[in-house]
Structure 1
Amino acid sequence: MARIGYARVSSLDQDLEGQLARLKTEGCGVIRAEKVSGGSREGRAELATVLEFLRPGDELVVTRLDRLGRDTRDVLNLIHEAEQRGAFVTVLDPHVSTRGEMGHVVLTVLGMVAQMERRFIKERQREGIERAKEVGAYKGGKPRLDHDRIRALHFAGSGPAEIARAVGCSRMQVYRVIRV
């Protein structure tokens, strides 16, 4: 029986260290971590790896339920997949495990709360953006690429691959900018 930890944060600027330390303290011999949104299972390679390698008697450990996902259906499907492999899921905060029947009920409720919380966050964010737009304070997200530099390099005769290397993006992004 192995205790396998899974840690996740939503964005690159967030820190995994607190989750990793807690999982190590809890005795997880293997810990997989990633920086990706929990809104869906898309692009969550580390989680897929953990699920694939769960064996009967293993325990998947997360610090909080929302680390598994923000959608109730996804969380319940993850728990079901772990159980199909004969493994258990344990959430450390609050401490709940699927080893007992009551754990399933509590995890279902916590999953619904996580999904509801995600909806509230999105709603508050949308309202905040609308208020900022009304007063002229909202400028949109930070530009990810320097479009002027890409165009300048293009007009100077640089090819898309060379521009992509210089700017640190893909050729497809270069094509999109120079097409406009």
Structure 2
Amino acid sequence: MTQIYGYARVSTTDQDLTIQEAALRAAGATIIRSEKKSGTTTEGRDELATLIEFARAGDTIIVTRIDRLARSIADLATIVRTLEKKGVHLKATEQPIDTGSPAGRAFLQMLGVFAEFETAIRKERQLEGIAKAKRDGVYKGRKASIDADRINELVAAGKGATEIAKELGIGRASVYRYLPSKTA
């Protein structure tokens, strides 16, 4: 007996999965796996990995849009190849994608190119915004994670880098990177 599975994903924890899940149910998905993870990589996307592993020949995996599945051509191609080897079809509710047909596969590849392009443009705009904020004196970078005064106190107390790292909950390499610049 073949199954129709749904996969829903949003990038941040403050986004809502409800609309995607409802669309997947309406498209016939009986089991839906959802997660709040970035789509720029498949690393750490446990629900997607579980779904791909669990699906069997003849099953269908449905997403609302292809960018819910992957935002890079490499990741999308890997997912599609894996599903094809297993005999699992991929469909999208908002796009004419169905890997069961040549036209559906071609459209999938075109959308994958646009999803990757969109990610690259977004990253470029973000870097431009950060550069402008730095020029305007608004962006100062992230807050320092190393307490310089505390390291100096611990060094003065005769503690070594390993002890300092453990006490402050930072990496020993961070302590070493800090110390030469202060003792030189």
Same fold (TM over 0.5): yes
> Letter of the aligned partner of 1:175 in structure 2?
G
Indicate the residue corresponding to 1:175 in structure 2.
169
Deviation at 1:98, TM superposition (A): 0.7
Q: Secondary structure at the match of 1:89?
A: strand
Larger radius of gyration: 2
Superposition map of 1:16-95 within 5 A: 16-95=17-96
Alignment size in residue pairs: 158
Q: Could you say if the C-alpha distance between residues 173 and 128 of structure 1 is closer, same or farther in structure 2, counting changes exceeding 3 Å? A: farther
Deviations 1:92-145 (A, max 9, x none): 22131111111111101110110011000000010011111111222445x6x8
How many percent of aligned residue pairs carry the same amino acid? Answer: 41
Offset at residue 173 of structure 1 (A): 10
SS across alignment from 1:80: helix
1:12 paired with 2:13, answer yes
User: What stretches of structure 1 move > 3 A for 4+ residues in a row?
Assistant: 177-180
Tell me, yes or no, if structure 1 residue 117 matches structure 2 residue 118.
yes
Alpha-carbon separation, structure 2, partners of 1:36 and 1:43: 8
Structure 1: 5+ residue stretches without partners = 156-171
SS of the residue 1:31 aligns to = strand
Secondary structure of the residue that 2:169 maps to in structure 1?
helix
- The residue number in structure 2 matching 1:161 is none
Measured against aligned partners, the alpha-carbon deviations of 1:40-78 in whole angstroms (never above 9, x if no partner) come to: 111011111001111111111001101111111110111
After superposition, the Cα gap between the structure-2 partners of 1:136 and 1:42, relative to the gap in structure 1 and judged at 3 Å, is same
Paired residue secondary structure (1:69): coil
- Using the size of structure 1 for normalisation, the TM-score is 0.78
Task: Please show how residues 97-176 of structure 1 align to structure 2 within 5 Å.
Answer: 97-140=98-141, 175-176=169-170
In the superposition, the TM-score normalised over structure 2's length comes to 0.77
In structure 2, what is the Cα distance between the partners aligned to 1:20 and 1:138? 38
Letter in structure 1 aligned against 2:39: G
Shift of 1:177: 8.6
